[in-house]
Amino acid sequence: MIIVTGGAGFIGSNIIQALNQQGFDNILAVDDLTNGHKFHNLADLEIADYLDYEDFQQRVRSGTFKGESIKALFHQGACSTTTEWDGRYMMKINYDYSKDLLNFCEAGNIPFIYASSAAVYGKSNTFKEQRLYETPINVYGYSKFLFDQYLRRRIDQLKTQVVGLRYFNVYGPREQHKGSMASVAFHLNNQMLEGNTVRLFEGCDHYGDGEQVRDFIYVEDIATVNLWFMQNPQTRGIFNLGTGQARSFNAVAEAVLKFHGRGSIEYIPFPSHLKGSYQSFTQADMSALRSAGYSHEFTSLEQGVQRYLSILNTPD
């Protein structure tokens, strides 16, 4: 059995799809379907069972979770809303839950591959997996940072494989349930379907209008790297997962306009509630992942947007 927490979510469902493509279907999907629309992410996938995350966590904590041999646990379940400031809730979901699962995997010698985040770096200009550069600027980033720190203090004593992947700006299919947290490509495509204009933020942090830059990575690449670690159990540690190339929001907008063959960009005032807690620049240092042996090329922004919008704009 393979367990995927957050299995009905954006990245979790893409991991299940990639597992299915490699012939794995004995999969337990763990999630919270309070937002019932997320079921769409599982409807076309092959899984063996589903379990609510609270039931799963309770059974893990009590030692009553029983099942056949577990090949790996991909922990993607989290509150990923960067504008959420309920720190008590965030720490329970992102920190305490992760600790429970790490301890469960260590006790059962189960490979544990989990989602960290580039949010741990905050406004740093250096995105290297070292404590020196980690200065989170919101409680979401702090929750991810603190679990990475928890792992670092224990990793030399752990017998099982543990891998933390610091996702940069992920975009691609199966994110439609994320609302405001969906990717800029998703939102710009919707704006084009409604009119002839896409909207980006005006400049901030000394960047021009739409010139804030992020490391945008296509979700299929995220899934591929996750499965690569499962297939390479000798590797462990915390790794950045981006493309290594920062691209502007203008570049994303231009790729969307090119796909639709029309339109223009409008710049709107930068939201006051994001000032001081917004990353205007991210670019993954990919040397650690490459040194671990991962050699595949990543999808370019232009290729990824083209592929993604082709899926979004194909009639059901």
Closest CA to 240 of 75, 112, 95, 117: 117
User: Residue type at 219?
Assistant: V
d(CA 236, CA 102): 13
308 catalytic per annotation: no
Of 114, 140, 142, 171, the catalytic one is 140
97 catalytic per annotation: no
d(CA 7, CA 15): 8
Is the Cβ–Cβ distance between 185 and 254 less than 8 Å? no
Count of CA atoms in the C-beta half-sphere (13 A) of 295: 1
Of 71, 178, 207, 278, the catalytic one is 178
The dihedral formed by the CA atoms of 22, 56, 222 and 172, expressed in degrees to the nearest 10: 100
d(CA 72, CA 69): 9
Burial class (CB in 10 A: 0-12, 13-18, 19+), 178: middle
Task: Show which residues are catalytic.
Answer: 140, 178
